[in-house]
Structure 1
């Protein structure tokens, strides 16, 4: 997707997404046979419900039909949330992952610098982590600044308590 088209789509879609109290995470245009696929990835502090994606999809579709932002070619519109395997790249991603288990790769490139840790707190400089104890040892605390992080991704936990359950 050309930068101009990307900027134009972002300018057109960002207000629609913000109106639903969501963050526009990504816009991607790709080819699928003769058609193009426009993927719009949105997120929020509380996640994104399917009904919200459907409503937003209708709103975006109507807006795109009124403009020539996608040109005359056929396209398929997909509106979704980022999914569990999305990398953590923005400060807000780390804030949303507080309490979650994450896999961090640090810039040193050593295998020992790949950690599976729980995010305890996030500020402007970095993150406070809980490193799980090994072989019956207690967990320890660690601080990592954002500049040290090469990659970060949330790990799936099947037995994790949901925030809503903890509040109840």
Structure 2
């Protein structure tokens, strides 16, 4: 026997002997036999019975008249609404008139400007809201001259030892 087939059959035998399969397969077979007997499936060799005849419903041979709100039947009901689409549109009539005159504008007078304002001094403190510049978040201490901006060595040592900054 082919070793692959023997291996496959070994797995199939192990699956068939598991508890769910070993108990479930016979239970399903018994349940199917009982259901088949209860439903009496098989050949339908008996004659026609009137209980099997479909029910007949009354049919109307005429349509009831519909009253339209305007009193006239719409074109889409009659089926002539497509005729309007096949007819060309009416010709366009253009109005012929003189355009209004152009408005009168006053003559151009150049504006007179005075002297320009002097720039602000550079040594003044630059606050963030001084001229409306909200993006400038610098502090006045940031704009001090370099000689005064250097901290004392003792302050730097304390900041390094504690992990805290002066800001």
- Using the size of structure 1 for normalisation, the TM-score is 0.14
The structure with more radius of gyration: 2
Give the structure-2-normalised TM-score. 0.14
Question: Which structure carries more strand by proportion?
Answer: 1
Structure with more contact order per residue of length (Cα contacts < 8 Å, sep ≥ 6): 1
Between Structure 1 and Structure 2, which shows a larger proportion of helix residues? 2
